[in-house]
Amino acid sequence: MSKSFNKAAYRPVGLLLGMAAGAVAGALFKQAWKMAAGEDDAPDPTDEHRGWGEILAAAALQGAIFSVVRAAVDRGGAVGVRRFTGNWPG
């Protein structure tokens, strides 16, 4: 199979995995924030009663969790496609 075909064939799989990764990352962030700050919800960046440190810490934690989960899911999806088709996607 050609490289462009592999890339196109993987696109729908990648989209589904991306949506699943977003849901998992959101749930993980909610739990991590609850453990770190003892609050159910992360601060809204426009909440005038929250300080810069709290807002930026929440954003950094959320970004790190989303990036790690997305990378793990993308890599796992690529490995799965290779096992199924014998070719690395992309």
Check residue 80 and give its pLDDT: 86
Q: Structure pTM? A: 0.81
Instruction: Look up residue 43 and give its two tokens.
Output: 């601060």
* Rounded mean pLDDT, 35-41: 91
Q: Does any domain span residue 45?
A: yes
Q: Do 90 and 10 meet the contact criterion of CB atoms below 8 Å apart?
A: yes
Q: Does any domain span residue 90?
A: no
* Rounded mean pLDDT, 13-42: 92
DSSP 8-state assignment for residue 88: -
Q: Do 33 and 42 meet the contact criterion of CB atoms below 8 Å apart?
A: yes
Measure the CA–CA gap between 38 and 72, rounded to whole angstroms: 27
Is pLDDT of 2 > 90? no
Q: Which domain holds residue 42?
A: 3-85
Q: Do 89 and 5 meet the contact criterion of CB atoms below 8 Å apart?
A: no
Give residue 82's pLDDT band: very low, low, confident or very high (50, 70, 90): confident
What is the number of domains present in the chain? 1
